Amino acid sequence: MKMNFYGRELNVYRANLHTHTTTSDGEFTPQETVNAYAAAGYDVLNLSDHWKTNDISQLDPQGMTLLSGIELAPSGPRRIECHILGIDVPYGFPGYYDSVQEGIDSIKSSGGLAFMAHPRFSGLTCTDLLEYDNLLGIEVYNTASRFSGKESSAAVWDELLYFKRDYTALAVDDMHSDTDKFGGWTMICAVDKSRESIVQALRDGCFYATQGPQIYALEYENGIFRAKFDPAVRAMVMADRSLAQCIRVEAAPGMAETPLAESCEINIAKWLAPGQYFRLEIMDERGRFAWSNPIRFKAAE
C-alpha cells in the first residue's frame, strides 16, 4: 500500500513497536511472537523486552523487518517507574540506569530511538516529561493499558505540544499475551522495508498512529492542509488550547446525522498564529482512533 505523505508517494508498513516475550514477562517466545504478528499481516516488529534485548539475528523474520528494542524502567518523579521504549538498540544494550535522562541518552547514543511509553498509565504529567531531553515522542495509545482505562495519552501529548515539544506519537500493543494483540499500531511511511529506511522514517516522523482507521493522504502546501481517510464519525484538526477545526462530530440526540467524513481541507494560514501546532485526529464507527503527527505553523506559510 502507498500513501501520499506530504508530497511523497511512500510505501506504508504496519508496525508493532512495543512487544514482550519470554525473554522478560511475555507469554510467548520471541519466535512465537514473530510468527503471530507475521500471520496477522504486520511488516515491522520491535521486540522490546524489559531490561533485556533479543538476538534477532537468530530468529526467522517471516518476511517482516525485525528491530532490536528494549524497555527501560528507571525511577523518575515521585518514584514513578518511567518506562522508556527503545527502538533499534544493539543486542546486549544495558538495561539498568540510575536516572531517566541517563537511560534516554544511552538509547540515543547507541543510535536508537527513545519514546516514553504509556505516560498516562504510569502517572506521568506533561510537567514531568518537560524535564527530559532527547525523547522523540510518546505512546499516544497503548493496548495493554486499556485494562486500567488509561490507554490514551492524547491529553498529555497535546499539553507537550502546547509547550513547544514537537513529539511524535506511536500506537502500540505493549503485547504480553493474547489479550494485548493487534489493538494499536504504527503505520510507517518509508521508501522500502529495510531496517535503515524504517528507522529513518521513525526518526523523521514519517508515520501515523492508529487503532484501525487508515489515513490515505496527508498534504500541507501554501498554508492549506488536506487529508483523506477512512469514513469517520468524528474528524478534527486539533490545535493549541481550545482551538480545533471540527470536520464532523456525532449529532446531538434528536438531530439528523451528517454523512461520515472522509476528507478535509483546512486553510491553516487563516486560522492559526505562527508557532501554533495542528494535527489530525479521526474516529471510526467502532470508536477507534487514528492520529497524525503534529505540524508547527510558520509565518512564511
pLDDT tens by residue, 151-207: 999 999 999 999 999 999 999 999 999 999 999 999 999 999 999 999 999 999 999
Write down the CATH number for the domain with range 2-210: 3.20.20.140
Predicted local confidence at residue 246, as pLDDT = 96
The CB density around residue 216, as the number of other CB atoms within 10 Å, is 15
Name the stretches of the chain with pLDDT < 70.
300-301
User: How far is it, in rounded angstroms, from Cα 65 to Cα 239?
Assistant: 34
Burial of 23-55, coded b for 16+ CB within 10 Å and e otherwise, reads: bbebebebeebbbbbbeeebbbbbbbbeebbbe
In this prediction, residue 301 carries a pLDDT of: 54
Of all residues in the chain, what percent carry a pLDDT higher than 70?
99
pLDDT at 299: 72
CA angle at 215 for the pair 176 and 182, rounded to the nearest 5°: 15
| pTM check: above 0.75 | yes
Question: Hey, where are the domains in the chain?
Answer: 2-210, 215-296
| pLDDT given for residue 300 in this prediction | 64
Quote the pLDDT of residue 203: 99
Nine cell digits for residue 71 = 524497555
Q: What is the pLDDT of residue 223?
A: 94
* pLDDT number for residue 170: 99
Three state DSSP letters for the chain: CEEEECCEEEEEEEEECCECCCCCCCCCCHHHHHHHHHHCCCCEEEECCECCCCCHHHCCCCCCEEEECEEECCECHHHCECCEEEECCCCCCCCCCCCHHHHHHHHHHCCCEEEECCHHHHCCCHHHHCCCCCCCEEEEEEHHHHHHCCCECHHHHHHHHHCCCCCEEEEECCECCHHHCCCCEEEEEECCCCHHHHHHHHHHCCEEEECCCCEEEEEEECCEEEEEEEEECEEEEEECCCCEEEEECCCCCCCCCCCCEEEEEEEHHHCCCCCCEEEEEEECCCCCEEEECCEECCCCC
CATH architecture under which domain 215-296 falls: Sandwich (2.60)
